[in-house]
Amino acid sequence: MKIRHLLGIVILAAAIVPSVTISLMLLDRQYQATQDSMEQELNRVLFSMSQDIRFKFSIFSTNFKLFSSERYLIQALDSFLFVSNAHNSMLQFVEQTPLVSSLYLLDAELHVVDEVLGDIPSYESSQLLADAKLAVASGLVREKRQHLIEFDNDNLVRPSRNKQQLSTESPYGAAVLMPLYLHSLQEGLTREPAGYILAILPFDVIYKVVADNLGTDEIIEILHGDEVIVASPKMKLLELQHDDHMVERDVLPLVSDYSSNQLEYMMQLHVSRSARMLQLQESMNALTLGIAIAICLSVLVAFLVANWLGTPFKQLSEILKRFGQGHYSSKGEKFKFSEFEDVRHLLSEMGSTIRMQLDSLHQKNEELQRIDDLKGEYLTKVRALNEQLEARVAEKTKALSETAAREGRSRQILQSLQRLSIELQQCTEHGEIIDLCLNQLHELFDDVPVALLIGVSRASQHQFKSLGLTSADEQWLLAELQQRASYKQQSLPETLVNQGKRFYLFDLISRTHNFLGVLAFQLDEVSPQERDIVRVFAKQISVITETIQLTSELELAARTDELTDLPNRKAFNESFDRCRHILERYPTNHVGIFVIDANGLKRVNDQFGHDAGDQFIKAIVQILLDSCRKTDQLFRMGGDEFVLLVQEGTVASCERLMARLAEQQDQHLVLTQQDGSTKSIPMSFSVGYASSEEVGINHLFHRADERMYEAKDHYYKQHPVESDSLSKTRLS
């Protein structure tokens, strides 16, 4: 809290509090005065309404008295010829008298002679007529006096609603009865009235006279005792908000100088409190506005005074603020008050002392700063050294980790190699080797795509498989490897590249340096260590592959005739046994056997040497191979004897083969002799066959052999020179 602010508040409070207090008192007085005037005004309104009705009724009463001496009325009672004139006069009276809704001209017995805006049947049956008769009989209806009768009959007052536009529908009314005399000018005689004139004053119309003077927030009702005779239609709304209105009452008398009696009613005025309060509010608003302006002016003056008094405090505050910020000079600023001037001097002297002490402190600070800088440099160097040491430690740690990883890897590879070596030794076919190797390598080198080709041998065709290669890469690689493998002596390139993909190749070489196959990896780069590992693998595979090849070739040699490369007797026996087993399982299948013996081999050997005999045999073999089907198998049983094992060998098919062989008989082999001359040697063979369709399988060979011999016999009978061959023994 600042002193000048406090000072300002005190001055403001001193200005406002009295103003507000006075204003509130004024407002209260104003409110009271308005309330009082409101009540007075209500009383005035009621009084003026009451007076208005009295006045209008009085006018009516006077006019009615004058009208009662209208000559047409009196003449109409006497002569029917005047009735229409009386009617016109009555009509005129009703039109000119707002309080009256209808008039009845009555004869001495109160029968209707004529009426204006009346309802004769309703009148004749009304209580009003009874009351009027009673009044006449009782002598209440006197000369020149008007007798008032109240009634409750909606039919009698209804014409008033047509005459004037009324908002209420009350059945109540007041009737004014006045006697008529034929000779009205003659005073002092006791006479019987010739008739009566009756005026109907509905309370709807009386209400309208009253209501015309009402304000929009005022509602009136007329009561007879406690019974409401007529009330504004707005009364229903008012009943809903009964807390919001004030009520005043006053007497409403119907009486005049000419009436013989008086009817008395009550008027009840309802005024909407909120609507009245609006007026009060308006005057309060005006007063409030005046007070607000006065307070504003007080505040303005208080503000100016507070500002004038507060300025030195503000200046002093600013000097102190600057002092706090290090500005110790306050020369040139003069205060209005001497007390503040003394303070300013004191501050100025204190400022000089402080400045000197600050200079000394500044020098010490500079020295401390230099020391601090040196300390900083030293710390920087130590930090750099630490960082170097940490880097070297990290480097060493990484090298050690890599070494450990390599050791682990080597162990894994060795274990893998060991496992592969064991498993390879159990393989008997190239297919098994390939599957085993590909799986092992693929696993070892973390799913690197790998392929293996094992080359052609005498015993088998080349075999190729891959793992992890796309089919396009696989086809491309196979074509490349086949092409390069056909040049067995040529060394393979280290890598092949296809569409950006690099393939590393490792050849499989036998101990005799023969090409066995290729191992391929799809890798971007291969480390020397990995290369070594793969080479060890390749070596392992090479050894096993070579072993299998050698074994296969040995087995092939045991079942092959060396001269003709045809399968030999051992092979025939194995094939025939297989046929036998098949026929036992499938008896509807048939097999045929042809036993063939070349004619004249001995003579060729003898005449032209064994080389010629070998050529002779090869030529015969060629003829037989040309004649038989691919499914048929030709075996050399030894010397010049051959067996043809015919699949699907029914009798018919054997006969057709026999016919084809017969067509090939008697061809000639042209021999070139050592002297260069040529010699044509006739070639023929004896054939006997049998089909399982006609002979049991166990007797099949025997039957064919017998028939061959029969053919042989036949041949030698035709060629006796070559009968040496008869010395042959039967094969079976």
Partner 1 sequence: MSIKAFLSVLLLTLSVSAKSADIELWHAHQAQDFVVHLAEQFEAETGQKIRISAYKTSRVKAELLLGAKNNVLPDIIFVPSDFLGLYHELKLNRLDDSWLDPAISAGAKDTAIVDGKLFGVPVIQGNHLMLYYNKSLVDEPAATWQQLFEQKDKLSSKGVRTIGWNYGEMFWFVAFLGAYGSTPITNGEVTLDTPQMVAALRFYQSLGSRGLIDPACDYNCAQKDFVERSTAYSINGDWAYADLSDELGEDLGLAILPAIDDKPLKPFSSTFTLAFPRVMGDSKRQAVLRQFARFVQTEAIQRQTYQHYQLLPTNSIVFNALKQSVSGQQRLLLQQLAMTNPMPSEAAMAIVWQAMAMAYKRFVNNGYTPEQTAQYMQQVAEKELARFMASR
Q: How far is the CB of 115 from partner 1 (least distance, A)?
A: 8
- Comparison of 85 and 421: residue with beta carbon closer to partner 1: 85
Q: How far is the CB of 117 from partner 1 (least distance, A)?
A: 8
Residue whose pair of structure tokens reads 């401390």 in the numeric block: 368
Options 5, 29, 71, 570; binder of partner 1; rule CB under 8 A: 71
| Chain center to CA of 688 | 91
Q: How far is the CB of 86 from partner 1 (least distance, A)?
A: 9
Q: What angle do CA 227, 233, 235 make, to 5 degrees?
A: 60
Identify residues 75-104 at the interface with partner 1 (CB under 8 A): 75, 79-85, 88
| 455 token code pair | 């080359």
- Comparison of 185 and 374: residue with beta carbon closer to partner 1: 185
Is position 72 an interface residue for partner 1 (rule: CB under 8 A)? yes
Q: How far is the CB of 80 from partner 1 (least distance, A)?
A: 4
Identify residues 191-210 at the interface with partner 1 (CB under 8 A): none
Distance set, CA 682 to CA 574, 603, 607, 666, 687 (Å): 34, 11, 13, 6, 16
- Comparison of 67 and 521: residue with beta carbon closer to partner 1: 67
CA torsion through residues 271, 273, 274, 280, sign:
positive
Burial annotation 686-695 (CB, 10 A radius, 16+ → b, else e): bbbbbbbbeb
Q: How far is the CB of 121 from partner 1 (least distance, A)?
A: 6
495-498 and 102-107 beta bridge pairing: unpaired
- Comparison of 81 and 189: residue with beta carbon closer to partner 1: 81
- Comparison of 88 and 491: residue with beta carbon closer to partner 1: 88
Q: How far is the CB of 190 from partner 1 (least distance, A)?
A: 24
- Comparison of 72 and 716: residue with beta carbon closer to partner 1: 72
Q: How far is the CB of 85 from partner 1 (least distance, A)?
A: 4
Is position 261 an interface residue for partner 1 (rule: CB under 8 A)? no
Q: What is d(CA 375, CA 367) in angstroms, rounded to the nearest whole number?
A: 13
Could you tell me if 465 and 435 are in contact, meaning their C-beta atoms sit under 8 angstroms apart?
yes
Q: How many residues bind partner 1 (CB under 8 A)?
A: 16
Stretch of 111-119, 225-233, 304-312, 414-422 lying at the interface with partner 1 (CB under 8 A): 111-119
Nearest CA to 155 among 193, 115, 195, 96? Answer: 115
Going residue by residue from 145 to 184, which x/- string records binding to partner 1, judged by CB under 8 A? Answer: ----------------------------------------
Is position 114 an interface residue for partner 1 (rule: CB under 8 A)? yes
Q: How many CA atoms lie within 13 A of 242 on its CB side?
A: 3
Distance set, CA 468 to CA 445, 521, 525 (Å): 12, 10, 17
Is position 664 an interface residue for partner 1 (rule: CB under 8 A)? no
Q: How far is the CB of 159 from partner 1 (least distance, A)?
A: 9
Q: How far is the CB of 63 from partner 1 (least distance, A)?
A: 21
Q: Tell me the DSSP string of 44-111.
A: HHHHHHHHHHHHHHHHHHHHHHHHTT-HHHHHHHH-GGGHHHHHHHHHHHHHH-TT--EEEEEETTS-
Q: Tell me the DSSP string of 169-209.
A: ---EEEEEEEEE-TTTT--S-----SEEEEEEEEHHHHHHH
Stretch of 69-77, 196-204, 334-342, 611-619 lying at the interface with partner 1 (CB under 8 A): 69-77
Residues near partner 1 (CB under 8 A) are 71-72, 75, 79-85, 88, 114, 117, 119-121
